[in-house]
Structure 1
Amino acid sequence: MTDEIPEPDRIEGVPHPRDTVNLIGQDAAEKAFLDVYTSGRLHHGWLITGPQGVGKATLAWRIARFLIATPPAEVDGLFGAPPPPETLDIPADHPVSRRVAAGAEPALFLLRRGGMGTTDKDREKNFREGKFSKVIRVEEARPLKNFFSLSSVDGGRRVVIIDSADELNTNAANAILKLLEEPPARTVLLLISHQPSRLLPTIRSRCRELRLAPLPAEALEQALAQADIEPGANTPALAELAGGSVGEAVRLMTLDGLQLYADLIALLGTLPRFDAARAQALADTAAARGAEERRVLLHHLIDLALSRLARVGVTGQTPAVEAAPGEAEVLARLSPNAVAGRTWAQAAEEVGARLRHGEAVNLDPAALILDTVFKLQSIAGGQAA
């Protein structure tokens, strides 16, 4: 698989997880897996969870390379069992690493969204053009039957990576559930999930969970550097807004999200008498031609700002790190106590629902943002009164 071909499991602007050499900031999850592995009780199903963009897919690919390249331990009559591995690292020049990088490892199956279309020809064409299905369909899962029918000549393991399990449609999810209930011999399934609560309870119950935590600012900066991305001087603010997610940090940098959030906080700072010029400028940003990704980001940042407002009021503490200039003062003024905090928490739910509904029915983006600003003005006015 070459870089020129779009892939549904790739975050734009960063290397594909199979090409990422090191997993930064997730030592606890790696150790948890190795502890189970060295105990001799390797589970056949693993649910790798955590926020999007924190390294779940990178960990899955590291585990896959490790399991395929590391033969099951056998006790030697003279020397006993080999020493347990202390890391998941497999050298880049190892045959398994080379085959995985080339997309040619026969012991590995990657299940992900395919191309749009109803025929194999259409799906293949659309996949190469970056026109992906919104879900993983049973058509993408059917080749697993042939994958498992091929016996391993060297007695090694087979690994299936599902990226992501959240995208499985009902039929595909049932197919995976059947595999988890009756797993083929020497097979490990690695299910990546950003929102495990949405999975079938029966799938969750048959997997062992590995949960990855958000990255702190230092680890986030290291991960970005590994991807040849320079975050600049605003790494703390970037980490704060990204929630410890490399993928979210890349999105913020690509779409100038730090400035967008700063503009939003500056507008909130004018409440309850909002600055009409600032409000119109924000609305125009959402309505610009070809600005769909930026509009989606703006909606997310509005939700994030309201959540931070609610937290300040309920906890009585401003964020340790400001995500925009003057943010702490704005949040403290608009949400001075627990009552205000609960009001902003309710507002976050209502505004989020309004924005999602507006997107779903294709309301005018600028009008939707201005409507949101009026809603926030009303809430801030009520707080002031």
Structure 2
Amino acid sequence: MSDDTPTPDQAPGAPHPRETQRLFGQDSAEQAFMSAYTSERLHHGWLITGPRGVGKATLAWRIARFLLATPPIEDDGLFGAPPPPDSLEIDPDHPVAHRIQAGAEPGLASITRSLNDQGRLRNEIVVDDIRKLGKFFGLSSTDGGRRVVIVDSADEMNVSAANALLKMLEEPPARTTLLLISHQPSRLLPTIRSRCRTLRLSPLGPEDMQAALMQTGAQMPEKTDHLAALAAGSVGDAVRLINLGGLEIYAELIAILGTLPRMDRQRALALAEAAAQRGAAERFELLLTLIDVALSRLALTGATGSAPMPEAAPNEAETLTRLSATPHQARKWAEVAAVITARARHGQSVNLDPAALVLDTVFKIQETAGQSR
């Protein structure tokens, strides 16, 4: 991969987690780890879970920096131990921080999806990615220092890789901490989950979201309430929405829904053609995600009797309330959401033309709007 291509553990348009100094909105998770550390009950395996984009990788790299830069109690010398640390903060000028920033810290190994023999990024973490840790443990054990492994994300391990990692969790090398990042821990082997302590991260509130976005350098939109509604507390999703024009795509989608049941087919066709443009794979994937969001918000509106707030697009509340005013309509939208998601994923798997797939989806929505009247 070229230098400007995001790595598998980096959100497009955002700094790499190792470059992110501050973590916002996750004080409880940080304090849970610090409590284990200061009480000398530091577990060898940690499962860091939560929605995408809420800071799981940032927390893992903060923990790695802290563990590698903080001397053990027995190494404190003859003049008494200093007070135990009360946060994960490490001076950016610390040698460990510099080495991690440069990707040159010998006590740290980062496991992500690797390139195959053709130089293409694999879809999963394979057993060879895990087995290379054997060499890492052998080289780093010579200085007797602490070692940290970050797996991002553990959900992407295939069966062989998961079993290889399980053996390390069952018989962990001395002075080693394994940090497993997981967006969907239910996909992991139960035996892996049982051998790790869990740190659960939560979606960010508005103020923490604003601060975290400013740290990424993302260009903030004028309508931050729309962004907050669509991102649902995920900084990663917010950056993706900003960089791919997600707010504009969702606004157009809501505008098209506003023409139902007599849908504006010209606008629907334009939306479909935009998704089919060369090099628009990420925007196409985002569009499918936003269609799912719109249908979910439609179902929620009918189920609760009011549209979700804040609005995620202009006139969204009016449109959602008109199309989904009763629990019966809510059920219809929930059912069609499941059908559309399955059809869309199948269409992707057989390389169906994106424009045709989007039009098929929009016409299915139009059909449902007619049945729900």
- Name the counterpart of 1:162: 151
Displacement of 1:76 in angstroms is 7.7
**Could you tell me how far apart the structure 1 residues matched to 2:3 and 2:16 are?**
9
Superposed counterparts of 1:183-262, under 5 Å: 183-262=172-251
Q: Would you say the 8 A contact 1:217–1:235 is kept in 2? A: no
AA aligned opposite 1:286: A
Deviations 1:41-90 (A, max 9, x none): 11110011111111111100000010111122239898765322111011
Which of residues 247, 265, 270 is equivalent to 1:276? 265
**Could you tell me how far apart the structure 2 residues matched to 1:364 and 1:102 are?**
42
Displacement of 1:179 in angstroms is 0.6
Q: Would you say the 8 A contact 1:313–1:335 is kept in 2? A: yes
Q: Would you say the 8 A contact 1:71–1:156 is kept in 2? A: no
Q: Would you say the 8 A contact 2:150–2:178 is kept in 1? A: yes
**Could you tell me how far apart the structure 1 residues matched to 2:47 and 2:157 are?**
14
- Name the counterpart of 1:69: 69
- Name the counterpart of 2:95: 95
Structure 1 unaligned runs (5+)? none
Superposed counterparts of 1:98-113, under 5 Å: 98-113=98-113
Q: Would you say the 8 A contact 1:99–1:105 is kept in 2? A: yes
- Name the counterpart of 2:285: 296
**Could you tell me how far apart the structure 2 residues matched to 1:189 and 1:75 are?**
22
Displacement of 1:271 in angstroms is 1.2
Displacement of 1:317 in angstroms is 2.5
- Name the counterpart of 2:324: 335
CA RMSD in angstroms comes to: 1.9
**Could you tell me how far apart the structure 2 residues matched to 1:363 and 1:145 are?**
43
Q: Would you say the 8 A contact 1:287–1:366 is kept in 2? A: yes
Displacement of 1:152 in angstroms is 4.1
Deviations 1:99-149 (A, max 9, x none): 1111111111111111121xxxx6xxx2xxxx3111111122222112222
- Name the counterpart of 1:345: 334
Is it true that 1:306 corresponds to 2:295 in the alignment?
yes
User: SS at 2:47's partner residue?
Assistant: strand
Displacement of 1:150 in angstroms is 3.3
**Could you tell me how far apart the structure 2 residues matched to 1:260 and 1:6 are?**
23
Comparing 151-160 with 251-260, greater Cα deviation is found at 151-160
- Name the counterpart of 2:51: 51
**Could you tell me how far apart the structure 2 residues matched to 1:55 and 1:40 are?**
25
Deviations 1:311-349 (A, max 9, x none): 111122221200000001111111112221122111111
Identity fraction in percent: 63
Structure 2 unaligned runs (5+)? none
Displacement of 1:264 in angstroms is 0.5
Deviations 1:276-311 (A, max 9, x none): 222111111222222211111111100010001111
| Closer/same/farther in 2, CA of residues 113 and 347 from structure 1, 3 Å limit | same
**Could you tell me how far apart the structure 2 residues matched to 1:78 and 1:62 are?**
29
AA aligned opposite 1:193: S
**Could you tell me how far apart the structure 1 residues matched to 2:187 and 2:262 are?**
41
Deviations 1:237-272 (A, max 9, x none): 112111222221111111111111011111111111
**Could you tell me how far apart the structure 2 residues matched to 1:52 and 1:58 are?**
12
Comparing 152-161 with 138-147, greater Cα deviation is found at 152-161
Displacement of 1:196 in angstroms is 0.9
User: SS at 2:278's partner residue?
Assistant: coil
| Closer/same/farther in 2, CA of residues 369 and 62 from structure 1, 3 Å limit | same
| Closer/same/farther in 2, CA of residues 75 and 160 from structure 1, 3 Å limit | closer
**Could you tell me how far apart the structure 2 residues matched to 1:230 and 1:147 are?**
39
Q: TM-score, length-normalised on structure 1?
A: 0.92
Displacement of 1:181 in angstroms is 0.7
| Closer/same/farther in 2, CA of residues 73 and 267 from structure 1, 3 Å limit | same
**Could you tell me how far apart the structure 1 residues matched to 2:356 and 2:39 are?**
59
**Could you tell me how far apart the structure 2 residues matched to 1:79 and 1:317 are?**
65
Is it true that 1:32 corresponds to 2:21 in the alignment?
no
**Could you tell me how far apart the structure 2 residues matched to 1:95 and 1:172 are?**
32
| Closer/same/farther in 2, CA of residues 2 and 371 from structure 1, 3 Å limit | closer
AA aligned opposite 2:372: Q
